[in-house]
Amino acid sequence: MKSIAIIGASGYTGAQITSLINADSNFSVQGLYVSENSLDKGRKLADLYPTYSHMAYTLSPLSDDAKKKIVAEADAVVLATEHSVSLELAAWFYQQGLAVFDLSGAYRFADVAQYPKWYGFEHTHPDVLAQAVYGLAEWNSEQIKQTRMIAVPGCYPTASLTALKPLKPFLTEMYPVINAVSGVTGAGRKAQLHTSFCEVSLTPYGVLGHRHQPEIATHLGQEVIFTPHLGNFKRGILATITVQLKPGTTEADVAKAYSVYDNAPIVTVKHNQFPKVDDVVNTPNCHLGWKYDANSGYLVVASAIDNLMKGAASQGLQCIKIHFGV
């Protein structure tokens, strides 16, 4: 049984992955940690989230002694922390010999030049970054097995790349256009006026400037137009994507391309039938639905995931299980 430490466990994603690891007989939770100045230190997870009242874990401050204890007792660490915090913690734990599963964006780009523009900091650990693998579980399983530094993808990129990567051989130079809507949990647990439920009305944000656009483009190998929207619901993502396919591409070609997921139990693909957010909420699943107009060469594919599950925590657990071979 592998022992996993979870840092940043008081947030939505940290709490979610704690519950998943706690329920998996292959793993044990070494401990839950928050920053030393967090108001949640010393509190029980169940006090923050009564839905997890079956778990008796307490949130401990991540002191130097706690870090030494993690290194001595844990096989891996999950980081559900802010990007700049993960940058340093991931490198430190990696250098101590632990496997690191980072749910932030601090190791998703191989190119250090991307970080000042999209995350606002210089990447200070290029040696560790060079070992990082992008944890898109259905596509990078061999690499995930072989490295101890896994960057779990963002929520919108997971939904978008799962839909687009099978189509890559058929894409033209026309940029795929991605319109995606997320529930407000995607903005995190911190109180902010614009994500207060009473203030939320369906609206685009980060237009032509969201950091998930270059993440999608980098790992697809093609530029995209990506427009996220904030929806007035708690959790889930629906991404509707329009792409132009090369002349001569047939419906059978598309069906064959998506057959890559035939042995992927988490991904369901349907033709001429489109997914609903409610069907994937609180599950690790990704539902895809597509329709192709051979006359115009345009295809529309919709992708639905739970932003806290397949978009973060359950994909993190997928990566952990792939890495440890369980």
Q: What is the pLDDT of residues 34-73, one digit of tens each?
A: 999 999 999 999 999 999 999 999 999 999 999 999 999 9
Q: What is the pLDDT of residues 273-292, one digit of tens each?
A: 999 999 999 999 999 999 99
Q: Which residues contact 71 (CB under 8 A, 6 or more apart)?
A: 93, 96, 97, 98
Q: What is the pLDDT of residues 93-133, one digit of tens each?
A: 999 999 999 999 999 999 999 999 999 999 999 999 999 99
What band does 188 get if pLDDT is binned at 50, 70 and 90? confident
Q: Kindly provide the residue ranges of all beta strands, DSSP E only, lying in the chain, ordered along the sequence.
A: 2-7, 27-34, 59-61, 76-79, 99-102, 133-134, 149-151, 177-182, 203-204, 225-230, 237-244, 267-271, 286-293, 298-305
- pLDDT (0 to 100) of residue 194: 65
Q: Exposure string (b/e) for 98-112, b if CB count within 10 Å is 16 or more?
A: bbbbbbbbbbbbeee
Q: How far apart are CA 88 and CA 100, in angstroms?
A: 12
What band does 204 get if pLDDT is binned at 50, 70 and 90? very high
Q: How far apart are CA 239 and CA 157, in angstroms?
A: 10
Question: What mean pLDDT is predicted for residues 205-214?
Answer: 95
- pLDDT (0 to 100) of residue 190: 66
Question: What mean pLDDT is predicted for residues 207-235?
Answer: 95
Q: How far apart are CA 161 and CA 310, in angstroms?
A: 12
Residue 29 has pLDDT above 60, yes or no: yes
Residue 140 has pLDDT above 60, yes or no: yes
Residue 99 pairs in a beta bridge with: 76
- Which ranges of 74-189 does DSSP label H, i.e. alpha helix? 83-95, 114-118, 126-129, 141-146, 155-164
9: enclosing H helix or E strand:
none
The total number of residues written for the chain in this structure: 326
- Which ranges of 77-140 does DSSP label H, i.e. alpha helix? 83-95, 114-118, 126-129
Q: What is the pLDDT of residues 68-85, one digit of tens each?
A: 999 999 999 999 999 999
- Which ranges of 148-247 does DSSP label H, i.e. alpha helix? 155-164, 212-220
Structure tokens at 296: 């115009």
Structure tokens at 187: 């903005």
Contact 308, 291 (CB under 8 A): no
Residue 187 has pLDDT above 60, yes or no: yes
Q: Express as a percent the part of the chain with pLDDT over 90.
A: 93
pTM here is 0.95
What are the angstrom distances between the C-alpha of 261 and each of 76, 138, 201, 264, 268? 29, 8, 35, 5, 7
SS3 call for 173: coil
Q: In what order do the strands lie in the sheet with 225-230?
A: 203-204, 225-230, 177-182, 237-244, 298-305, 286-293, 267-271
- pLDDT (0 to 100) of residue 326: 93
Question: What mean pLDDT is predicted for residues 199-210?
Answer: 90
Q: What is the pLDDT of residues 308-326, one digit of tens each?
A: 999 999 999 999 999 999 9
Residue 217 has pLDDT above 60, yes or no: yes
Q: Where are the domains of the chain?
A: 2-131, 155-309
- pLDDT (0 to 100) of residue 270: 98
Residue 197 has pLDDT above 90, yes or no: no
Residue 269 has pLDDT above 70, yes or no: yes
Residue 203 has pLDDT above 70, yes or no: yes
CATH class for the region spanning 155-309 = alpha beta
- pLDDT (0 to 100) of residue 196: 72
Question: What mean pLDDT is predicted for residues 297-307?
Answer: 98
SS3 call for 269: strand
Residue 179 has pLDDT above 70, yes or no: yes
Mean pLDDT estimate for the chain: 95
- Please tell me the CATH superfamily of domain 2-131, with its number: NAD(P)-binding Rossmann-like Domain (3.40.50.720)
Q: Which residues are catalytic, by number?
A: 155
